[in-house]
Amino acid sequence: MGGTTSSTGRGGGTSLGDLPENCVAEVMLRLDPTEICGMARLSRTFRGAASGDGVWEAKLPRNYARLLAAAAAGDDSEEAAALELEAIPKKEVYARLCRRNRLDGGTKEFWLDKVGGGICMAIYSRALSITGIDDRRYWNFITNDESRFHSVAYLSQIWWFEVRGEVEFFFPEVLTTSMAGT
């Protein structure tokens, strides 16, 4: 019985690299981003599929263009100008949104969660209205290089406090499914 011989002379049938790239991309649509990156290391076919816009666009929130614009507006570097180009691969858009992006003069940050895909936000304590925050008997601001905002509000003592703040931001729509008939 004759078998198929590969050009390397090892014999045997097909390999992962023989799969059509569009089939690999369909599988990758069902994986999370870290799994996609791991699969991209397997072969050129997998790397090509993992670089496809369709795979990464499925991982982006529906309003990713608005989020990207917000990221560019809060970024003072030359990268902000580059983000305005329409020909950015979706993989790069995803990577950019997963990094911390500053808003409102650096008093807020947002980023895309790599695992769950949700939007995360951090708000600097000075961007909030906190009862007694200006009274040094109760609160102190301590410089801290480990803080993303480089200082933290330290509560010395207080009996009660109230925190208020406003956020103008384009959070993505939350899709819900109907449970009717189940």
Who has greater pLDDT, 79 or 1? 79
Mean pLDDT of 31-47: 89
pLDDT exceeds 90 at position 133: no
**What domain range includes position 25?**
18-59
* 131 and 160 part of one domain: yes
* 73 and 33 part of one domain: no
| Mutual angle of helices 64-73 and 90-98, in 10-degree steps | 60
Assess if residue 66 is contained within a domain. yes
* 114 and 153 part of one domain: no
pLDDT exceeds 70 at position 63: yes
Domain termination residue (choose one: 59, 91, 108)? 59
Assess if residue 2 is contained within a domain. no
Confidence tier at 135 by pLDDT (50, 70, 90): confident
Assess if residue 107 is contained within a domain. yes
Assess if residue 156 is contained within a domain. yes
pLDDT exceeds 90 at position 101: yes
pLDDT (0 to 100) of residue 140: 80
Assess if residue 150 is contained within a domain. yes
**b/e string for 45-59 if b means 16 or more Cβ within 10 A?**
bbeebbbbeebbeeb
* 93 and 110 part of one domain: yes
Reference 16, options 37, 39, 35; nearest CA is: 39
pLDDT (0 to 100) of residue 178: 44
* 51 and 89 part of one domain: no
Who has greater pLDDT, 22 or 89? 89
User: How far is the CA of 172 from the CAs of 60, 87, 118, 181, in angstroms?
Assistant: 10, 22, 9, 28
pLDDT exceeds 60 at position 44: yes
pLDDT (0 to 100) of residue 12: 64
For the chain, give the mean pLDDT.
78
Mean pLDDT of 55-78: 83
pLDDT (0 to 100) of residue 15: 73
Mean pLDDT of 121-134: 79
Domain count, the chain: 3
Per cent of the chain over pLDDT 70 is: 80
Read off the pLDDT of residues 103-127 as tens digits, 9 standing for 90 and up: 888 888 999 998 888 899 988 887 8
pLDDT exceeds 90 at position 98: yes
